[in-house]
Structure 1
Protein backbone atom coordinates (compact mmCIF):
# COMPACT_ATOMS: atom_id res chain seq x y z
CA UNK A 1 0.00 0.00 0.00
CA UNK A 2 1.33 3.44 -0.97
CA UNK A 3 1.59 5.73 2.05
CA UNK A 4 4.25 8.29 1.14
CA UNK A 5 4.86 9.88 -2.26
CA UNK A 6 7.66 12.17 -3.44
CA UNK A 7 6.50 15.06 -5.62
CA UNK A 8 8.34 17.71 -7.60
CA UNK A 9 7.26 20.94 -5.98
CA UNK A 10 5.44 21.73 -2.75
CA UNK A 11 1.85 21.65 -1.50
CA UNK A 12 -0.36 23.29 -4.10
CA UNK A 13 1.84 22.27 -7.04
CA UNK A 14 0.43 20.31 -9.96
CA UNK A 15 2.34 17.23 -8.82
CA UNK A 16 0.59 17.59 -5.45
CA UNK A 17 -2.78 17.71 -7.20
CA UNK A 18 -1.89 14.48 -9.05
CA UNK A 19 -1.06 12.81 -5.73
CA UNK A 20 -4.54 13.67 -4.48
CA UNK A 21 -6.31 12.49 -7.63
CA UNK A 22 -4.40 9.32 -8.53
CA UNK A 23 -4.28 7.39 -5.28
CA UNK A 24 -7.44 5.85 -3.88
CA UNK A 25 -6.44 6.56 -0.27
CA UNK A 26 -4.81 9.75 1.09
CA UNK A 27 -1.00 9.81 0.92
CA UNK A 28 1.63 11.89 2.65
CA UNK A 29 3.88 13.86 0.31
CA UNK A 30 7.59 14.68 0.39
CA UNK A 31 8.25 18.05 -1.25
CA UNK A 32 11.18 18.05 -3.70
CA UNK A 33 12.38 21.03 -5.72
CA UNK A 34 13.96 18.81 -8.38
CA UNK A 35 13.26 15.51 -10.08
CA UNK A 36 16.68 14.28 -8.98
CA UNK A 37 15.52 14.73 -5.40
CA UNK A 38 12.34 12.75 -6.19
CA UNK A 39 14.49 9.88 -7.44
CA UNK A 40 16.81 10.11 -4.42
CA UNK A 41 13.79 9.82 -2.12
CA UNK A 42 12.77 6.64 -3.91
CA UNK A 43 16.22 5.07 -3.95
CA UNK A 44 16.80 5.71 -0.25
CA UNK A 45 13.32 4.30 0.53
CA UNK A 46 12.22 7.60 2.03
CA UNK A 47 8.99 7.19 0.07
CA UNK A 48 6.94 4.44 -1.54
CA UNK A 49 6.41 6.11 -4.92
CA UNK A 50 7.28 9.19 -6.90
CA UNK A 51 5.41 11.38 -9.37
CA UNK A 52 7.23 12.73 -12.42
CA UNK A 53 5.85 14.84 -15.27
CA UNK A 54 6.76 13.29 -18.62
CA UNK A 55 5.17 15.45 -21.29
CA UNK A 56 2.94 18.43 -21.94
CA UNK A 57 0.47 18.82 -24.76
CA UNK A 58 1.31 22.42 -25.74
CA UNK A 59 4.75 23.57 -24.58
CA UNK A 60 8.05 21.85 -24.18
CA UNK A 61 6.82 18.44 -25.30
CA UNK A 62 8.63 15.60 -23.57
CA UNK A 63 10.60 16.21 -20.41
CA UNK A 64 13.55 14.21 -21.72
CA UNK A 65 15.72 14.18 -18.55
CA UNK A 66 12.96 12.36 -16.68
CA UNK A 67 12.99 9.49 -19.15
CA UNK A 68 16.74 9.25 -18.57
CA UNK A 69 16.30 9.26 -14.78
CA UNK A 70 13.75 6.44 -14.89
CA UNK A 71 16.09 4.42 -17.08
CA UNK A 72 19.32 5.15 -15.21
CA UNK A 73 17.98 4.19 -11.79
CA UNK A 74 15.90 1.24 -13.02
CA UNK A 75 12.63 2.67 -11.76
CA UNK A 76 9.33 1.14 -12.78
CA UNK A 77 6.42 3.09 -14.24
CA UNK A 78 3.39 1.63 -12.47
CA UNK A 79 0.76 4.12 -13.62
CA UNK A 80 0.03 7.36 -15.43
CA UNK A 81 -2.23 10.33 -14.85
CA UNK A 82 -3.31 13.15 -17.15
CA UNK A 83 -3.98 16.49 -15.50
CA UNK A 84 -5.71 19.47 -17.09
CA UNK A 85 -3.30 22.30 -16.31
CA UNK A 86 -5.11 25.58 -15.72
CA UNK A 87 -2.77 28.41 -14.77
CA UNK A 88 -3.94 31.31 -12.60
CA UNK A 89 -2.26 34.61 -11.85
CA UNK A 90 -2.25 35.33 -8.11
CA UNK A 91 -0.97 37.91 -5.66
CA UNK A 92 -1.60 39.33 -2.20
CA UNK A 93 -5.12 40.78 -1.71
CA UNK A 94 -6.08 44.37 -2.54
CA UNK A 95 -3.99 44.59 -5.69
CA UNK A 96 -4.95 44.72 -9.35
CA UNK A 97 -2.96 43.39 -12.26
CA UNK A 98 -1.80 46.97 -12.95
CA UNK A 99 -0.05 46.94 -9.57
CA UNK A 100 2.02 43.89 -10.53
CA UNK A 101 5.59 44.57 -11.64
CA UNK A 102 7.10 41.08 -11.57
CA UNK A 103 5.72 37.58 -12.16
CA UNK A 104 7.67 34.52 -11.07
CA UNK A 105 6.97 30.92 -12.06
CA UNK A 106 8.39 27.72 -13.47
CA UNK A 107 9.81 28.22 -17.01
CA UNK A 108 7.19 25.87 -18.49
CA UNK A 109 4.34 27.87 -16.96
CA UNK A 110 5.80 31.14 -18.21
CA UNK A 111 6.14 29.69 -21.71
CA UNK A 112 2.55 28.46 -21.70
CA UNK A 113 1.22 31.88 -20.62
CA UNK A 114 3.43 34.29 -22.56
CA UNK A 115 0.64 35.48 -24.88
CA UNK A 116 -1.43 36.67 -21.90
CA UNK A 117 1.32 39.08 -20.83
CA UNK A 118 1.57 40.79 -24.22
CA UNK A 119 -1.22 43.05 -22.96
CA UNK A 120 0.84 43.92 -19.87
CA UNK A 121 4.28 45.01 -21.14
CA UNK A 122 5.08 46.63 -17.78
CA UNK A 123 5.31 43.19 -16.13
CA UNK A 124 8.69 41.47 -15.98
CA UNK A 125 8.57 37.65 -16.29
CA UNK A 126 11.15 35.80 -14.18
CA UNK A 127 11.88 32.06 -14.17
CA UNK A 128 11.75 30.22 -10.85
CA UNK A 129 11.93 26.65 -9.52
CA UNK A 130 8.28 25.87 -8.83
CA UNK A 131 4.84 27.39 -9.33
CA UNK A 132 3.47 26.83 -5.83
CA UNK A 133 6.75 27.69 -4.10
CA UNK A 134 6.50 31.21 -5.52
CA UNK A 135 2.94 31.51 -4.19
CA UNK A 136 4.15 30.44 -0.75
CA UNK A 137 7.02 32.96 -0.84
CA UNK A 138 4.70 35.82 -1.76
CA UNK A 139 2.52 35.04 1.25
CA UNK A 140 5.36 34.43 3.71
CA UNK A 141 7.29 37.57 2.75
CA UNK A 142 4.18 39.67 2.03
CA UNK A 143 5.56 40.65 -1.36
CA UNK A 144 3.52 43.41 -2.98
CA UNK A 145 3.79 44.10 -6.68
CA UNK A 146 4.77 40.46 -7.23
CA UNK A 147 2.56 37.71 -8.63
CA UNK A 148 2.82 33.98 -9.23
CA UNK A 149 1.51 31.70 -11.94
CA UNK A 150 0.21 28.58 -10.24
CA UNK A 151 -2.89 26.48 -9.67
CA UNK A 152 -6.04 27.83 -8.02
CA UNK A 153 -5.39 25.18 -5.40
CA UNK A 154 -2.13 26.99 -4.52
CA UNK A 155 -4.02 30.27 -4.24
CA UNK A 156 -6.40 28.64 -1.75
CA UNK A 157 -3.59 27.11 0.32
CA UNK A 158 -1.52 30.30 0.53
CA UNK A 159 -4.50 32.70 0.73
CA UNK A 160 -3.70 34.70 -2.37
CA UNK A 161 -6.10 36.62 -4.57
CA UNK A 162 -6.60 35.26 -8.11
CA UNK A 163 -6.17 38.13 -10.56
CA UNK A 164 -6.89 36.08 -13.69
CA UNK A 165 -7.86 32.46 -14.35
CA UNK A 166 -6.92 30.09 -17.16
CA UNK A 167 -4.27 32.39 -18.59
CA UNK A 168 -2.43 29.73 -20.64
CA UNK A 169 -2.43 30.42 -24.38
CA UNK A 170 -4.09 27.15 -25.33
CA UNK A 171 -6.97 26.33 -23.01
CA UNK A 172 -6.77 22.56 -23.51
CA UNK A 173 -3.47 22.10 -21.68
CA UNK A 174 -2.72 18.60 -20.42
CA UNK A 175 0.36 17.21 -18.74
CA UNK A 176 1.04 13.48 -18.48
CA UNK A 177 2.53 12.28 -15.22
CA UNK A 178 4.18 8.94 -14.48
CA UNK A 179 3.83 7.17 -11.15
CA UNK A 180 7.14 5.41 -10.46
CA UNK A 181 8.27 2.89 -7.87
CA UNK A 182 11.37 0.84 -7.08
CA UNK A 183 9.64 -2.40 -8.09
CA UNK A 184 6.85 -3.24 -10.50
CA UNK A 185 3.32 -3.89 -9.32
CA UNK A 186 1.52 -7.20 -9.63
CA UNK A 187 -1.20 -6.25 -12.09
CA UNK A 188 -3.13 -8.99 -13.81
CA UNK A 189 -2.31 -9.28 -17.51
CA UNK A 190 -5.95 -8.47 -18.27
CA UNK A 191 -5.49 -5.12 -16.48
CA UNK A 192 -2.37 -4.08 -18.42
CA UNK A 193 -3.12 -2.04 -21.53
CA UNK A 194 -0.08 0.21 -21.90
CA UNK A 195 3.69 -0.14 -21.63
CA UNK A 196 6.80 2.04 -21.71
CA UNK A 197 9.90 0.50 -23.27
CA UNK A 198 13.43 1.54 -24.17
CA UNK A 199 15.78 0.19 -26.81
CA UNK A 200 18.73 1.21 -28.96
CA UNK A 201 18.66 0.85 -32.73
CA UNK A 202 21.90 -0.20 -34.41
CA UNK A 203 23.42 1.57 -37.42
CA UNK A 204 22.07 -0.85 -39.99
CA UNK A 205 19.82 0.72 -42.62
CA UNK A 206 16.15 0.54 -41.67
CA UNK A 207 16.76 -0.93 -38.20
CA UNK A 208 14.38 1.49 -36.46
CA UNK A 209 11.75 1.13 -39.19
CA UNK A 210 11.92 -2.65 -38.83
CA UNK A 211 11.26 -2.46 -35.09
CA UNK A 212 8.36 -0.06 -35.64
CA UNK A 213 6.91 -2.48 -38.20
CA UNK A 214 7.08 -5.25 -35.59
CA UNK A 215 4.98 -3.11 -33.26
CA UNK A 216 2.44 -2.54 -36.00
CA UNK A 217 2.36 -6.22 -36.98
CA UNK A 218 1.78 -7.15 -33.31
CA UNK A 219 -1.19 -4.75 -33.16
CA UNK A 220 0.48 -2.25 -30.84
CA UNK A 221 -0.52 1.39 -31.03
CA UNK A 222 2.50 3.69 -30.80
CA UNK A 223 1.49 6.68 -28.66
CA UNK A 224 4.92 8.18 -28.01
CA UNK A 225 8.45 7.90 -29.34
CA UNK A 226 11.31 9.96 -27.97
CA UNK A 227 14.99 9.71 -28.93
CA UNK A 228 17.84 10.45 -26.55
CA UNK A 229 21.53 10.59 -27.56
CA UNK A 230 23.80 8.00 -25.94
CA UNK A 231 26.65 10.11 -24.58
CA UNK A 232 29.21 7.29 -24.52
CA UNK A 233 28.44 6.34 -28.15
CA UNK A 234 28.37 9.32 -30.55
CA UNK A 235 25.62 9.27 -33.20
CA UNK A 236 23.78 6.41 -31.53
CA UNK A 237 20.39 6.94 -29.90
CA UNK A 238 18.18 5.29 -27.34
CA UNK A 239 14.45 5.34 -28.06
CA UNK A 240 11.80 5.64 -25.37
CA UNK A 241 8.48 4.36 -26.65
CA UNK A 242 4.96 4.11 -25.22
CA UNK A 243 2.53 1.61 -26.72
CA UNK A 244 -1.06 0.65 -26.01
CA UNK A 245 -2.71 -2.67 -26.80
CA UNK A 246 -5.97 -4.58 -26.35
CA UNK A 247 -4.38 -7.97 -25.74
CA UNK A 248 -1.34 -8.44 -23.48
CA UNK A 249 -0.32 -11.46 -25.56
CA UNK A 250 0.35 -9.12 -28.49
CA UNK A 251 2.71 -7.07 -26.35
CA UNK A 252 4.49 -10.22 -25.16
CA UNK A 253 5.07 -11.25 -28.75
CA UNK A 254 6.41 -7.82 -29.65
CA UNK A 255 8.72 -7.84 -26.62
CA UNK A 256 10.32 -11.11 -27.63
CA UNK A 257 11.00 -9.83 -31.15
CA UNK A 258 12.26 -6.35 -30.21
CA UNK A 259 14.58 -7.87 -27.63
CA UNK A 260 16.29 -9.74 -30.46
CA UNK A 261 16.28 -6.88 -32.97
CA UNK A 262 17.16 -3.93 -30.71
CA UNK A 263 20.09 -3.35 -28.36
CA UNK A 264 19.74 -2.79 -24.59
CA UNK A 265 16.00 -3.51 -24.63
CA UNK A 266 14.23 -2.71 -21.37
CA UNK A 267 10.62 -2.59 -20.16
CA UNK A 268 10.26 0.57 -18.08
CA UNK A 269 6.71 -0.20 -17.03
CA UNK A 270 3.48 -2.07 -17.72
CA UNK A 271 0.31 -0.40 -16.46
CA UNK A 272 -3.27 0.68 -17.18
CA UNK A 273 -3.84 3.13 -20.02
CA UNK A 274 -5.28 6.27 -18.45
CA UNK A 275 -6.64 7.46 -21.78
CA UNK A 276 -9.17 4.70 -22.38
Structure 2
Protein backbone atom coordinates (compact mmCIF):
# COMPACT_ATOMS: atom_id res chain seq x y z
CA UNK A 1 0.00 0.00 0.00
CA UNK A 2 1.33 3.40 -1.00
CA UNK A 3 2.07 5.66 1.96
CA UNK A 4 0.89 9.30 2.02
CA UNK A 5 3.24 12.22 1.39
CA UNK A 6 3.99 14.16 4.59
CA UNK A 7 3.65 17.95 4.37
CA UNK A 8 3.96 20.83 6.79
CA UNK A 9 0.46 22.27 7.00
CA UNK A 10 -2.90 21.02 5.75
CA UNK A 11 -4.66 20.63 2.42
CA UNK A 12 -4.74 23.96 0.64
CA UNK A 13 -1.30 24.96 1.93
CA UNK A 14 1.62 25.74 -0.37
CA UNK A 15 3.28 22.47 0.68
CA UNK A 16 0.14 20.63 -0.45
CA UNK A 17 0.26 22.43 -3.80
CA UNK A 18 3.90 21.39 -4.31
CA UNK A 19 3.08 17.78 -3.44
CA UNK A 20 0.32 17.76 -6.06
CA UNK A 21 2.49 19.36 -8.74
CA UNK A 22 5.72 17.47 -8.13
CA UNK A 23 4.19 14.01 -7.94
CA UNK A 24 1.58 14.78 -10.62
CA UNK A 25 -1.08 12.57 -9.08
CA UNK A 26 -3.74 12.58 -6.41
CA UNK A 27 -1.50 11.12 -3.73
CA UNK A 28 -2.84 11.30 -0.21
CA UNK A 29 -1.06 13.70 2.14
CA UNK A 30 -0.20 13.34 5.80
CA UNK A 31 -0.83 16.73 7.42
CA UNK A 32 1.74 17.86 10.01
CA UNK A 33 1.70 21.15 11.90
CA UNK A 34 5.48 21.56 12.11
CA UNK A 35 8.60 20.66 10.15
CA UNK A 36 9.79 18.58 13.11
CA UNK A 37 6.51 16.69 12.84
CA UNK A 38 7.03 15.91 9.14
CA UNK A 39 10.53 14.61 9.85
CA UNK A 40 9.23 12.46 12.73
CA UNK A 41 6.71 10.88 10.34
CA UNK A 42 9.55 10.02 7.97
CA UNK A 43 11.74 8.59 10.73
CA UNK A 44 8.84 6.47 12.03
CA UNK A 45 8.14 5.21 8.48
CA UNK A 46 4.62 6.65 8.53
CA UNK A 47 5.65 8.14 5.18
CA UNK A 48 8.45 7.50 2.70
CA UNK A 49 8.75 11.08 1.48
CA UNK A 50 8.23 14.61 2.77
CA UNK A 51 7.92 18.03 1.14
CA UNK A 52 9.87 20.76 2.95
CA UNK A 53 10.34 24.46 2.22
CA UNK A 54 14.03 25.39 2.34
CA UNK A 55 14.32 29.01 1.19
CA UNK A 56 12.29 31.97 0.00
CA UNK A 57 13.35 34.63 -2.50
CA UNK A 58 12.26 37.39 -0.10
CA UNK A 59 12.80 36.02 3.41
CA UNK A 60 15.88 33.89 2.69
CA UNK A 61 16.84 30.48 4.08
CA UNK A 62 14.80 28.50 6.55
CA UNK A 63 17.91 27.56 8.52
CA UNK A 64 16.34 25.08 11.00
CA UNK A 65 15.29 22.90 8.06
CA UNK A 66 18.89 22.56 6.90
CA UNK A 67 19.71 21.36 10.41
CA UNK A 68 16.82 18.86 10.39
CA UNK A 69 18.01 17.25 7.16
CA UNK A 70 21.61 17.14 8.38
CA UNK A 71 20.97 15.97 11.95
CA UNK A 72 18.76 13.06 10.90
CA UNK A 73 20.95 12.08 7.93
CA UNK A 74 18.10 12.51 5.48
CA UNK A 75 18.50 12.77 1.73
CA UNK A 76 17.27 15.41 -0.72
CA UNK A 77 16.05 13.64 -3.86
CA UNK A 78 14.41 16.54 -5.72
CA UNK A 79 13.37 20.17 -5.65
CA UNK A 80 10.50 22.40 -6.80
CA UNK A 81 10.21 26.18 -7.12
CA UNK A 82 6.73 27.54 -6.42
CA UNK A 83 5.52 31.04 -7.25
CA UNK A 84 3.97 32.18 -3.95
CA UNK A 85 0.97 34.48 -4.32
CA UNK A 86 -0.67 35.56 -1.07
CA UNK A 87 -4.38 36.45 -1.13
CA UNK A 88 -6.65 37.93 1.53
CA UNK A 89 -9.48 35.43 2.17
CA UNK A 90 -12.75 36.03 4.05
CA UNK A 91 -16.28 34.73 4.37
CA UNK A 92 -18.40 36.14 1.57
CA UNK A 93 -20.26 39.43 1.79
CA UNK A 94 -17.57 41.42 3.66
CA UNK A 95 -15.42 44.40 2.76
CA UNK A 96 -11.96 45.36 4.01
CA UNK A 97 -13.55 47.77 6.51
CA UNK A 98 -15.31 44.82 8.18
CA UNK A 99 -12.03 43.05 8.90
CA UNK A 100 -10.48 43.61 12.34
CA UNK A 101 -7.92 40.79 12.39
CA UNK A 102 -5.81 38.94 9.84
CA UNK A 103 -4.35 35.58 10.87
CA UNK A 104 -1.59 33.72 9.02
CA UNK A 105 1.84 32.12 9.22
CA UNK A 106 4.53 34.61 10.40
CA UNK A 107 6.33 34.34 7.04
CA UNK A 108 3.16 35.26 5.14
CA UNK A 109 2.48 38.20 7.46
CA UNK A 110 6.03 39.43 6.97
CA UNK A 111 5.79 39.21 3.19
CA UNK A 112 2.50 41.19 3.18
CA UNK A 113 3.32 43.76 5.86
CA UNK A 114 3.33 46.79 3.55
CA UNK A 115 -0.21 46.07 2.30
CA UNK A 116 -1.64 46.50 5.80
CA UNK A 117 -0.07 49.92 6.40
CA UNK A 118 -3.11 51.36 4.63
CA UNK A 119 -5.40 49.57 7.10
CA UNK A 120 -4.21 50.49 10.61
CA UNK A 121 -7.44 49.17 12.15
CA UNK A 122 -6.43 45.59 11.27
CA UNK A 123 -4.49 43.55 13.82
CA UNK A 124 -2.02 40.97 12.46
CA UNK A 125 -2.03 37.67 14.35
CA UNK A 126 0.50 34.84 13.89
CA UNK A 127 -0.75 31.30 13.25
CA UNK A 128 0.81 27.90 12.52
CA UNK A 129 -0.36 27.50 8.94
CA UNK A 130 -1.94 29.63 6.20
CA UNK A 131 -4.48 27.04 5.08
CA UNK A 132 -5.41 26.06 8.63
CA UNK A 133 -6.61 29.63 9.26
CA UNK A 134 -8.75 29.49 6.11
CA UNK A 135 -10.22 26.17 7.24
CA UNK A 136 -10.97 27.56 10.72
CA UNK A 137 -12.72 30.65 9.35
CA UNK A 138 -14.84 28.45 7.10
CA UNK A 139 -15.75 25.86 9.72
CA UNK A 140 -16.55 28.39 12.45
CA UNK A 141 -18.12 30.89 10.01
CA UNK A 142 -16.00 33.68 11.50
CA UNK A 143 -16.73 37.19 10.31
CA UNK A 144 -14.33 40.08 10.84
CA UNK A 145 -11.33 37.76 10.56
CA UNK A 146 -9.35 37.20 7.36
CA UNK A 147 -6.68 34.71 6.33
CA UNK A 148 -3.63 35.17 4.12
CA UNK A 149 -3.47 32.04 2.02
CA UNK A 150 -3.51 30.60 -1.48
CA UNK A 151 -6.32 30.49 -4.04
CA UNK A 152 -6.34 26.74 -3.55
CA UNK A 153 -7.26 27.31 0.09
CA UNK A 154 -10.02 29.74 -0.96
CA UNK A 155 -11.54 27.16 -3.30
CA UNK A 156 -11.11 24.26 -0.88
CA UNK A 157 -12.74 26.07 2.06
CA UNK A 158 -15.29 28.19 0.18
CA UNK A 159 -13.87 31.63 0.98
CA UNK A 160 -13.96 34.88 -0.98
CA UNK A 161 -10.73 36.45 -2.25
CA UNK A 162 -10.98 40.00 -0.92
CA UNK A 163 -7.61 41.13 -2.31
CA UNK A 164 -5.23 39.33 -4.68
CA UNK A 165 -1.44 39.09 -4.57
CA UNK A 166 -0.96 41.29 -1.52
CA UNK A 167 2.70 40.35 -0.96
CA UNK A 168 5.09 43.32 -1.07
CA UNK A 169 7.31 41.90 -3.81
CA UNK A 170 5.19 40.46 -6.57
CA UNK A 171 7.79 37.92 -7.76
CA UNK A 172 7.92 35.74 -4.67
CA UNK A 173 9.28 32.20 -4.97
CA UNK A 174 9.90 29.47 -2.45
CA UNK A 175 12.22 26.54 -3.08
CA UNK A 176 10.89 23.26 -1.72
CA UNK A 177 12.88 20.04 -1.46
CA UNK A 178 11.67 16.46 -1.63
CA UNK A 179 13.26 14.47 1.19
CA UNK A 180 13.56 10.73 1.86
CA UNK A 181 15.39 8.57 4.39
CA UNK A 182 17.85 7.27 1.78
CA UNK A 183 19.01 8.13 -1.71
CA UNK A 184 17.16 5.87 -4.13
CA UNK A 185 18.33 7.67 -7.29
CA UNK A 186 19.50 5.02 -9.74
CA UNK A 187 19.48 7.09 -12.95
CA UNK A 188 22.67 9.15 -12.69
CA UNK A 189 21.98 10.69 -16.13
CA UNK A 190 19.35 12.93 -14.51
CA UNK A 191 21.66 14.20 -11.75
CA UNK A 192 23.05 17.71 -12.33
CA UNK A 193 22.70 19.33 -8.91
CA UNK A 194 23.88 18.44 -5.41
CA UNK A 195 23.53 19.72 -1.85
CA UNK A 196 26.64 19.43 0.31
CA UNK A 197 27.64 20.11 3.90
CA UNK A 198 31.11 20.52 5.38
CA UNK A 199 33.08 22.21 8.15
CA UNK A 200 36.35 24.11 7.90
CA UNK A 201 39.12 25.18 10.25
CA UNK A 202 38.91 28.80 11.29
CA UNK A 203 41.89 29.73 9.15
CA UNK A 204 42.47 32.44 6.58
CA UNK A 205 41.50 31.33 3.10
CA UNK A 206 40.03 27.93 4.04
CA UNK A 207 36.63 28.64 2.50
CA UNK A 208 38.16 30.35 -0.53
CA UNK A 209 40.28 27.25 -1.17
CA UNK A 210 37.21 25.01 -1.24
CA UNK A 211 35.32 27.40 -3.51
CA UNK A 212 38.29 27.48 -5.89
CA UNK A 213 38.21 23.69 -6.10
CA UNK A 214 34.53 23.78 -7.06
CA UNK A 215 35.23 26.41 -9.69
CA UNK A 216 38.28 24.61 -11.10
CA UNK A 217 36.16 21.46 -11.46
CA UNK A 218 33.57 23.41 -13.47
CA UNK A 219 30.90 23.39 -10.76
CA UNK A 220 28.56 26.36 -10.41
CA UNK A 221 27.85 27.48 -6.84
CA UNK A 222 24.14 28.37 -6.57
CA UNK A 223 23.80 28.58 -2.79
CA UNK A 224 25.98 28.90 0.30
CA UNK A 225 24.62 29.08 3.83
CA UNK A 226 26.56 29.01 7.09
CA UNK A 227 25.20 27.52 10.29
CA UNK A 228 26.93 27.91 13.68
CA UNK A 229 28.11 24.75 15.43
CA UNK A 230 26.42 25.20 18.80
CA UNK A 231 28.79 22.89 20.64
CA UNK A 232 31.87 24.64 19.16
CA UNK A 233 31.72 28.47 19.47
CA UNK A 234 32.84 30.39 16.35
CA UNK A 235 33.00 27.30 14.20
CA UNK A 236 30.58 26.96 11.29
CA UNK A 237 29.14 24.32 9.03
CA UNK A 238 28.57 25.34 5.43
CA UNK A 239 25.64 24.16 3.33
CA UNK A 240 26.33 24.48 -0.39
CA UNK A 241 24.35 23.79 -3.55
CA UNK A 242 26.22 23.19 -6.80
CA UNK A 243 25.15 22.49 -10.37
CA UNK A 244 27.23 20.83 -13.08
CA UNK A 245 27.08 19.67 -16.69
CA UNK A 246 29.24 16.57 -16.39
CA UNK A 247 28.98 14.00 -13.61
CA UNK A 248 32.73 13.29 -13.85
CA UNK A 249 33.49 16.94 -12.95
CA UNK A 250 31.25 16.66 -9.89
CA UNK A 251 32.81 13.36 -8.80
CA UNK A 252 36.32 14.82 -9.14
CA UNK A 253 35.36 17.83 -7.00
CA UNK A 254 33.80 15.61 -4.32
CA UNK A 255 36.94 13.50 -4.09
CA UNK A 256 39.06 16.60 -3.47
CA UNK A 257 36.66 18.39 -1.12
CA UNK A 258 36.22 15.18 0.86
CA UNK A 259 39.94 15.21 1.63
CA UNK A 260 40.14 18.94 2.45
CA UNK A 261 37.01 19.57 4.54
CA UNK A 262 35.89 18.25 7.92
CA UNK A 263 32.68 16.22 8.33
CA UNK A 264 31.98 16.36 4.61
CA UNK A 265 28.55 15.03 3.67
CA UNK A 266 26.45 14.83 0.52
CA UNK A 267 22.89 15.78 1.52
CA UNK A 268 21.45 14.96 -1.88
CA UNK A 269 22.05 14.49 -5.61
CA UNK A 270 19.13 15.29 -7.89
CA UNK A 271 17.83 17.05 -10.99
CA UNK A 272 18.08 20.84 -11.16
CA UNK A 273 14.50 22.18 -11.28
CA UNK A 274 15.71 25.44 -12.81
CA UNK A 275 16.50 23.85 -16.18
TM-score range, shorter chain: over 0.9
State how far apart, in whole Å, the 1-side matches of 2:110 and 2:24 are: 33
State how far apart, in whole Å, the 1-side matches of 2:142 and 2:126 are: 17
How many residue pairs match? The answer is 275
- The reply to whether residue 23 of structure 1 matches residue 33 of structure 2 is no
State how far apart, in whole Å, the 1-side matches of 2:3 and 2:40 are: 17
Residue deviations 1:67-106 (CA, integer Å, cap 9, x gap): 0000000110000000000000001111111100000000
State how far apart, in whole Å, the 2-side matches of 1:25 and 1:162 are: 27
Q: How do 1:139-218 residues align onto structure 2 when only pairs under 5 Å count? A: 139-218=138-217
Root-mean-square deviation (Å)? 1.0
Q: Note if contact 1:101-1:145 (Cα within 8 Å) is conserved in structure 2.
A: yes
Residue in structure 1 matched with residue 120 of structure 2 by the alignment: 121
Which runs of no fewer than 5 residues in structure 2 stay unpaired?
none
Residue in structure 2 matched with residue 40 of structure 1 by the alignment: 40
CA displacement at 1:38 relative to structure 2: 0.3
CA displacement at 1:204 relative to structure 2: 2.4
Residue in structure 2 matched with residue 58 of structure 1 by the alignment: 58
Residue deviations 1:9-55 (CA, integer Å, cap 9, x gap): 00000000000000133311000010000000000000110011000
State how far apart, in whole Å, the 2-side matches of 1:185 and 1:24 are: 19
Residue in structure 1 matched with residue 76 of structure 2 by the alignment: 77
State how far apart, in whole Å, the 2-side matches of 1:83 and 1:260 are: 36
State how far apart, in whole Å, the 2-side matches of 1:14 and 1:75 are: 22
State how far apart, in whole Å, the 1-side matches of 2:48 and 2:23 are: 12
Which runs of no fewer than 5 residues in structure 1 stay unpaired?
none
Q: Note if contact 2:105-2:129 (Cα within 8 Å) is conserved in structure 1.
A: yes
Residue deviations 1:163-194 (CA, integer Å, cap 9, x gap): 00111011110000000001112232221010
TM-score (norm 2): 0.98
State how far apart, in whole Å, the 2-side matches of 1:177 and 1:163 are: 28
Residue in structure 2 matched with residue 4 of structure 1 by the alignment: 4
TM-score (norm 1): 0.98
Q: Note if contact 2:77-2:185 (Cα within 8 Å) is conserved in structure 1.
A: no
